[in-house]
Chain A
Amino acid sequence: MSDTKRFLYVNRKAPHGTIYALESLEVVLIGAAFEQDVSLAFLDDGVFQLIKKQATTGIGVKNFAPVYRALGDYDVKKIFVERESLEERGLSEDDLMEIVHEDDEEEEHNSIEIVDRARMAEIMAAQDVILSF
């Protein structure tokens, strides 16, 4: 078996109420050093992790949302967000922060892809390892 596997990090919980979103992000950052084929999935309440303009001073907690924007620097380029999860919560792509990565020519590309539920199921099915938080 080759040493490169397809890793999917599945995020289904809103941020701040629990530590899962933050500690999931920490795994993604550490995992980047292992040069695997990494994707991130945001569905159900997990879509709230990518909402822009999160302001956490009022709850006395460090805002880690800016770290998502740096994912491109860690070579994490595939971020899938489920369309139905957004719609069920009255959200759209415009509510999400912008996350980009550079290609070899230093040209910027959007890392976030909005996918429907059927496509999300296919993405999940195509993985070797699924880490859920």
Chain B
Amino acid sequence: MSTLHTVNKSPFERGSLASALAHALPGDAVLLIEDAVVGARAAASKTAEMMKAAMPACSLYVLGPDLSARGIPSTDVVEGVTVVDYPGFVDLVAGHDKTQAWL
């Protein structure tokens, strides 16, 4: 039973990403969408460390269209985090037993 966790809040503003990562189990996936994508930049050391610590037990993803909309090139994203589009989001939902939104 694996879970896809979605996070849509900036980790600089709220604790949703920290909470999601603290409850994700090995084999789970965490997808950053909407404002959460601002936390995916490699140069932001604190949040980058938080995500690196969660890998490789969990796979981390970030929604590309949300990155682009916020002017963040995918080359700026933390190494190991995979950029997906909306069809990729759908595949992640289908590929895990359930989805949990950390609203």
A: which residues have CB within 8 A of B? Answer: 10, 12, 43-44, 117, 120-122, 124-130, 132-133
User: Given the complex of chains A and B, what is the CA–CA distance between A44 and B18 in angstroms?
Assistant: 11
Residues of A contacting B97 in the complex (Cβ-Cβ under 8 angstroms)? 128
Residue of B nearest to A130 (CB): B100
Residues of A contacting B25 in the complex (Cβ-Cβ under 8 angstroms)? 121-122, 125
CB–CB B23/A132 < 8 A: no
CB–CB B103/A132 < 8 A: yes
Cβ 8 A contact of B23, one of A124, A126, A127, A133? A124
- The minimal Cβ–Cβ distance linking A83 to chain B, given in whole angstroms, is 13
- The minimal Cβ–Cβ distance linking A122 to chain B, given in whole angstroms, is 8
Residue of B nearest to A117 (CB): B22
Per the CB 8 Å criterion, the residue count for chain B at the interface is 17
- Looking at chain B's contact residues, the main secondary structure is mixed
B: which residues have CB within 8 A of A? Answer: 1, 3, 15-16, 19, 22-25, 28, 97-103
CB–CB B98/A128 < 8 A: yes
Residues of B contacting A127 in the complex (Cβ-Cβ under 8 angstroms)? 98
Residues of A contacting B3 in the complex (Cβ-Cβ under 8 angstroms)? 124-125, 130
CB–CB A117/B15 < 8 A: no
- The minimal Cβ–Cβ distance linking B99 to chain A, given in whole angstroms, is 7
User: Given the complex of chains A and B, what is the CA–CA distance between A44 and B22 in angstroms?
Assistant: 12
User: Given the complex of chains A and B, what is the CA–CA distance between A117 and B28 in angstroms?
Assistant: 16
Residues of A contacting B103 in the complex (Cβ-Cβ under 8 angstroms)? 12, 132-133
Residues of A contacting B23 in the complex (Cβ-Cβ under 8 angstroms)? 117, 120-121, 124
CB–CB A44/B99 < 8 A: no
Residues of A contacting B102 in the complex (Cβ-Cβ under 8 angstroms)? 12, 132
Residues of B contacting A124 in the complex (Cβ-Cβ under 8 angstroms)? 3, 23, 100
- The minimal Cβ–Cβ distance linking B84 to chain A, given in whole angstroms, is 21
For the complex of A and B, 3 pairs with smallest distance between CB atoms: A121-B23, A130-B100, A132-B101
User: Given the complex of chains A and B, what is the CA–CA distance between A132 and B16 in angstroms?
Assistant: 12
Residues of A contacting B99 in the complex (Cβ-Cβ under 8 angstroms)? 130
User: Given the complex of chains A and B, what is the CA–CA distance between A92 and B65 in angstroms?
Assistant: 43
A-B contact pairs, 16 of them (CB 8 A): A10-B100, A12-B103, A44-B19, A117-B23, A121-B23, A121-B24, A122-B25, A124-B3, A124-B23, A125-B25, A125-B28, A126-B1, A127-B98, A129-B98, A132-B101, A133-B103
